[in-house]
Amino acid sequence: MQRQGIEAAEAALAAGEAAAMLVLKAHDQRTAELCSAAKDAGIPVHEVTERDMWRMAWPGSEAPPTVLTLVGRNPEARNLDELTARGGLLLCLDGVSYAGNMGFSVRTAEVAGATGVILATPAPIPGRAWKDLRHSSMQATRFIPVVEANIEEAIASAKTEGFRIVAVEDVGSHDLPDVDLTGDVMLIIGAEAEGVSQAALEAADAVVRLPMHGFVPSYNLQVAVACACVEAARQRR
């Protein structure tokens, strides 16, 4: 959740709710003192341009806020088990390797209020791809934890913490709105060509299918991610 303005930031910091902050690079003494206090408390502080602040702020402001504060989600996780221990909604991308799709998915999961994103990639993500991922996510990686793991590890860790596993695949027998996406849920969505892996399908508590009536046999990955995350957000509001 986002809170705008320095008063809201100071209140969130005092209450121990602040998890990350964006501040304008050009700021006054009061904001400088806030940044210092946040850093002393171990809270990430990102200094940004006015353009970036406009892009991140919720609509309705006549001027860009001097401070935006993230509350309600720890934006960092050291590893997979630390992330799954938090519960909530997790998005797991199974076999997705294109950085643009991964970045879009991270942004969508963040906006939908997910706890974090797991990238179950065929191989470790190289540095250049991470840069592209962050860019295509609109730098949402500053506000939501993203970890790498293989799909078997991701499922095992989630199951240990009591998550229900919901896969999105064209072999599904359930419609998305008919599946309970509240509580601790891991959504698994696969790459466009290969789809969700057999291991994930076998481990899933439910497999849902998005309606398709055209000639082309699948949606773009980004559509599937958006549909699943928006439905989860709707059920969890």
Per-residue pLDDT of the chain (237 residues; tens, 9 = 90+): 899 999 999 999 999 999 999 898 888 899 999 999 999 999 999 999 998 898 898 887 777 889 999 999 999 999 999 999 999 999 999 999 999 999 999 999 999 999 999 999 888 899 999 999 999 999 999 999 999 999 999 999 999 999 999 999 988 889 999 999 999 999 999 998 889 999 999 999 999 999 989 998 888 999 999 999 999 999 999
Same domain assignment for residues 64 and 44: yes
Distance CA(151)–CA(92), nearest Å, equals 8
pLDDT at 218: 84
Q: Are residues 213 and 232 in the same domain?
A: yes
- DSSP calls for 47-59: EE-HHHHHHHSPT
Q: How many domains does the chain have?
A: 2
Same domain for 225 and 141: yes
In this prediction the pTM is 0.92
Q: How far is CA 167 from CA 18, 22, 95, 209, in A?
A: 33, 34, 13, 9
How much is the pLDDT for 74? 94
Take residue 53 and report the two structure tokens written for it: 């602040």
The CATH number for 122's domain is 3.40.1280.10
Calpha distance 185→16 (Å, rounded) = 27
What single-letter DSSP state applies at residue 99?
Answer: H
Q: What is the pLDDT of residue 172?
A: 86
C-beta of residue 188 within 8 angstroms of C-beta of residue 166 = yes
Judge whether 184 and 163 are in contact, CB under 8 Å: yes
- Phi and psi (nearest 5°) for 73? -150, 130
Same-domain status, 132 and 226: yes
Predicted pLDDT at 59: 81
Q: Read off the tokens for 87.
A: 């519960």
Q: Do 97 and 11 fall into the same domain?
A: no
116-120 β-sheet, strand order: 146-148, 116-120, 89-94, 185-190, 164-168, 206-208
Please tell me whether residues 105 and 191 are part of one structural domain: yes
Given a contact cutoff of 8 angstroms between Cβ atoms, the answer to whether 90 and 232 are in contact is no
pLDDT at 219 (0 to 100)? 87
Assess whether 23 and 128 both reside in one domain.
Answer: no
Question: How many CB atoms within 10 Å of residue 169?
Answer: 21
Residues 106 and 219 in one domain: yes
Q: Name the residue type at position 139.
A: Q
**pLDDT value of position 205:** 97
> Are 112 and 45 within one domain?
no
Last residue of a domain, one of 10, 45, 71: 71
Indicate the SS3 state at residue 115: coil
CATH code (residue 46): 3.30.1330.30
Residue 209 main-chain phi, psi, to 5 deg: -125, 130
Across the beta sheet with 2-4, the strand order is 2-4, 67-71, 18-24, 45-48
The Cα 172–Cα 186 span in angstroms is 16
| Shared domain check, 102 and 14 | no
Boundaries of domain holding 36: 2-71
Distance of CA 193 to the CA centre of its chain: 23
Whether residues 57 and 173 share a domain: the answer is no
- 42 and 111 co-located in one domain: no
